[in-house]
Amino acid sequence: MCGIVGYIGYEQAAPFLLSGLEKLEYRGYDSAGICLNDGKELIVKKTKGKLLELKKLTNNGADINGTVGIGHTRWATHGEPSDVNAHPHLSDSCRFAVVHNGIIENYLQLKDYLISKGMTFRSKTDTEVIAQLIEFYYDGDLVDTVIKVLGKLDGSYALGVISRDCPDEIIAVRKESPLIIGLGENENYIASDVPAILAKTRNIYRLENNEIAILRRDGVKIINTDREDVVKKIETINWDIDAAEKGGYEHFMFKEIMEQPKAIHDTVAPRIKNGRVVLDEINLTPEQFKGFNKINILACGSAYHVGVVAKYVFEKYLRIPVEADLASEFRYRDPIVNEKTLTIVISQSGETADTKEAMKEAKRRGSHVISIVNVVGSAIACESDDVIYTWAGPEIAVATTKAYSTQLAVVYLMAIYFGDILGTVKKDQYDELVSELLSLPEKIKTVLANEEKVQYLASKLFNCMDVFFIGRNIDYALSLEGSLKLKEISYIHSEAYAAGELKHGTISLIEDGTLVIALATHEPLIAKTISNMEEVRTRGANVLCLACEDHKEIESVAQNTIFIPKCCDMMLPSLAVVPLQLFAYYVASLKGCDIDKPRNLAKSVTVE
């Protein structure tokens, strides 16, 4: 959530800042602003609403001079979305400007103290406290002052700071919230994420916690809070720049749905050598793995839904008890975790606040942590004992698609790999699973080729008011994700239920015309799911069923059907999720929703 950009160089900064913020729109925001240092004063332009409003206000940046500046897209936490609460925030005398991602937990105490000292506040945000503290403590050395202020702050933050007194400098700081430094020739940049600067440079530093970057036109210096120099390794981003662009598609989400065969291939193929799953990135030894008596999976949102699938998969193939926990709940329930527990953490961004803190809790209790992450060098990746990267490439749409699918692929790799270690996956089964996994990209292409059928069904059903997803076993795990996709981008009320629970209350909500999406891919329980479909249909439900192509008899039960190719039960979610993604996409499109940037949502949730 929220986005930061900054520029120092010899070109006019405003057009770049606006362009960079545009590349960060996917993170979610409700207001935007920029601040330029024109060599004499700090000029701030900010507004509630979309970035288009800021562009109009500044004539696409042409009306603001200055070759040093910072910009921000805000997702409101403290204070309602408004012009005055938008970032950047100025200090009392307009001497300092700050942009901030994160939350300052003790801001009320700090604000009261500064007010008692005569300082005046304009906004209701926690961020303004930072700008005011910098002014209050400023002693002529901006870096020393920022370090002193950091010692007063409790919470998480990524900061960009500029000063009227220092027209040739930007200060950037990171604690818990991600921030990168872009390295150019006679110009340098700060940003929350790579897409903001990809058009300018591929060379970056990733700031770690409590590191401070001092950016000038001719270079970047990194120090810690003791003012000791920090030597950083330059990371070169190897994305094709087109990966962060729409490439002719109307929406990033649709592009990313279509990219799933390649993303899964890129995640899986390099890790299968001579028919064997090879996870070189894991340092955990077979002997250590055999010592675990439980697996805990920690995640939020769609990553948690991957974890629910993983629970079914791991328990079937590893025969170890597995708990899939919402990270936000795990932190506060005094969990039973120790050195005999393996913790698997799943996060696309690697910066999800609740997941990160839950991981720390597991580590404090002695658990070994393996993370499944898409962003190299992210906080969760760096703090895990082992990390397996998904190679999905950049995912721009807020609603995840290819990140979810590549996380599933890693789950399959782990099930095969660890099942072999434990002897719970025999050779014939091992070979079959590897073959099925390698065939997934082509089978997903087959599903994608049927997208016009899904579009047609969406056109028939998009006016529904309530939707219920039902399924059993691994189909129930998948129904959670299907329901989330629909509700987050179409704003239709949607819920997922284990089909066997219908008679325990939920069936009372079924009435004429209620859309029920039934998942019936799990072979051992298809007959029971058909029975549940009949139950809701006799009560007036309009049933859309998703099943494997060898079960055409379902057409006599459901009003509408979608068929997918047959594969092993463990991997069916990878095929079945695709039509659910497409259905959500087309429904949202027909309703005229902002598909890539749904209201109130953010791509990376870096605060509780």
SS (H, E, C) 382-426: HHCCEEEECCCCCCCCCCCCHHHHHHHHHHHHHHHHHHHHHCCCC
The residue written with tokens 């007010």 in the block is: 115
- Cα 450 from Cα 453, distance rounded (Å): 6
- The set of residues, in sequence order, having a beta carbon less than 8 Å from that of 83 and lying 6+ positions away, is 31, 46, 47, 48
Integer CA distances (angstroms), 430 to 319, 320, 427, 530, in order: 15, 18, 5, 31
416: closest CA among 289, 321, 317?
Answer: 317
Annotation says 2 is catalytic: yes
> Taking the alpha carbons of 188, 190, 194, 197 in that order, is the dihedral positive or negative?
negative
Estimate to the nearest angstrom the gap between the alpha carbon of 164 and the chain centroid: 36
Instruction: Give the CA dihedral 113, 115, 121, 125, nearest 10 degrees.
Output: 30
Annotation says 593 is catalytic: no
3-state secondary structure of 236: strand
CB 363 within 8 A of CB 369: yes
Look up residue 348 and give its DSSP letter: S
What are the φ/ψ torsions at residue 182 (nearest 5 degrees)? Answer: -95, 135
CB 401 within 8 A of CB 253: yes
Look up residue 527 and give its DSSP letter: H
Residue 433: CA atoms inside 13 Å, Cβ hemisphere, count? Answer: 25
Name the catalytic one among 2, 166, 464, 548: 2
* DSSP conformation letters of 434-498: HHHHHHHHHHHHHHHTTHHHHHHHHHHHTT-SEEEEEESTHHHHHHHHHHHHHHHHH--EEEEEE
User: What does DSSP say about strands 219-224 and 211-216: parallel, antiparallel, or unpaired?
Assistant: antiparallel
Name the catalytic one among 255, 311, 356, 603: 603
Six-digit token pair at 314?
């791991």
Six-digit token pair at 584?
């959500």
As annotated, the active-site residues are: 2, 603
